[in-house]
């Protein structure tokens, strides 16, 4: 199971900023873009940012 932190953002978000969240123990602020996707991972701390639609459970009837 993946234990990394997942931060949910609004569906219309194009860019997020990540500083590791640890104050002085974090990392430099970086801006990450979704590039037409619904999920992006920070390359410093592996924190995952996901658009709300990416976190919704899939309806089995929709996948058939």
Residue 24, in any domain of the structure: yes
Q: Is the pLDDT of residue 64 over 90?
A: no
Residue 60, in any domain of the structure: no
29 DSSP β-pair partners: none
pLDDT tens-digit readout, 1-46:
567 889 999 999 999 999 998 788 899 999 999 999 999 999 999 9
pTM above 0.75, yes or no: yes
Token pair 């640890």 is found at 22
Residue-by-residue DSSP string for 23-46 = GGGS---EEEE-TTSSEEE-TTT-
Domain count, the chain: 1
User: Which CATH number do you get for residue 19?
Assistant: 2.60.260.40
Residue 45, in any domain of the structure: yes
């Amino acid at each position: 199971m993946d234990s990394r932190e997942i931060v949910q953002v609004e569906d219309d978000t194009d860019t997020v900023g990540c500083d590791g969240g640890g104050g002085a123990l974090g990392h430099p602020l970086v801006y990450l873009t979704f590039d037409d996707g619904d999920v992006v991972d920070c390359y410093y701390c592996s924190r995952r940012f996901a658009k709300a639609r990416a976190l919704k459970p899939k309806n089995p009837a929709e996948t058939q």
